[in-house]
Amino acid sequence: MSSQANKNKVKDHEQPTEHTLRLAELPWFESILAKLKQAYNDERLAHGLIICAPKGSGKQAFARSFIKSILCQKSSATFTDFCSQCKSCLLFEAASFPDYHQLERLTDNKGKQKQSIGIEQIRQLTDKLADTAQLSGWRVALITSVSDLTTASFNALLKTLEEPGDKTLLVLLADNLQSVPATIRSRCQLVLPKLNNQSLLNWLEQQTEITDQKQLQLSLQHCYHAPLLAKQYLLNGGFDIRLKLNQLGDALLLNQINPQIFLEQVPAELSIDQIILWMTDYLLEVEKAILSRSGNQHYMQLNPKLPIQLYHKLTDYLRAQSAGSNLQPKLQLQSILIQWYEAGRKIIQLSTR
């Protein structure tokens, strides 16, 4: 694929809603941003940054805004938030900035996204980073998901991190650090947003106009403390849907409904995969309730290992599915629902004997 085609590919994957955010709209990055600005002004910005945060925390928006600000002509002496008006900003917005490279998985000729970012893509990238800069002097690359890199791809990146050119910046985005080899980690600065304080709840309240603190707190938990995800979740009624599903899960355990009625009563907009994801969370919550001896009394009469066994069955299925297996999602879900219903039946029969 030619580099022009690559560039177009990159553009296709952009999600404008996330990318138009300004740095100030992501306050959980505020303290780390202050440190990065200082390092930039002191000319000691690390050559490699790993931004690690869950999906829906705005890390890609932050990375792009930060990079756009560095490339902005107003930042030539001291760091200034991007202006959106200079030549650099306009080129960046049009995905035509010649010294900025955004790397993601390519799509094959059948339109299917490849499983990983291959070594060839990394080699092309490191060559470009080694070239003389065409504009502001900075050469920057953003790799939007490090978990897509293969071992060979990581090794190909190492050289750039070990012998970086002047004004070269490599930004890697990671949902978690497990996917990043120690050799890469040790050569990069880790960028972690603050995702667990009261200010996040205040932000969420302001954004959604929902004042119920318990609801805000639970929504954050349900969304792995990813603020943008939690905002969407609340605004799209995700919290209420989850409550409804939890009630259905409990009703199934109490044999008030059977698996077929469960599936009929699930909100119609949910896909089977979404229900499976909910079910994994629900089973973990039940397990937690058993361990802390709180919650629905029927949970305490269950075989304490059952929720986690069913949870593992579902996560095994999800793993197989992402590896491309042809397992039928509905059959997988039905099998778990039946086991949940049967477990409840045992409890009820024992308690009425």
Catalog residues that contact Zn ion under the rule CB under 5 A: 72, 83, 86, 89
Q: Is 106 helix (H, G, I), strand (E, B) or coil?
A: coil
The residues with which 113 forms a beta bridge, in sequence order, are 107
Q: Which is nearer to Zn ion, 136 or 153 (CB)?
A: 136
Nearest distance from residue 94's CB to Zn ion, in Å? 13
Give the whole-angstrom CA distance, residue 220 versus residue 49.
26
Give the whole-angstrom CA distance, residue 85 versus residue 74.
10
Q: Which is nearer to Zn ion, 83 or 270 (CB)?
A: 83
Would you list the DSSP string of 19-40? HT--GGG-GGGHHHHHHHHHHH
Nearest distance from residue 68's CB to Zn ion, in Å? 8
Q: Which is nearer to Zn ion, 85 or 147 (CB)?
A: 85
Give the whole-angstrom CA distance, residue 7 versus residue 174.
22
Q: Which is nearer to Zn ion, 89 or 171 (CB)?
A: 89
Nearest distance from residue 75's CB to Zn ion, in Å? 8
Nearest distance from residue 137's CB to Zn ion, in Å? 14
The residues with which 117 forms a beta bridge, in sequence order, are 149
Nearest distance from residue 144's CB to Zn ion, in Å? 22
Q: Which is nearer to Zn ion, 91 or 158 (CB)?
A: 91
With b for 16 or more beta-carbon neighbours within 10 A and e for fewer, the 215-248 pattern comes to bbeebbebbebbbbbbbebbeeebbebbeebbeb
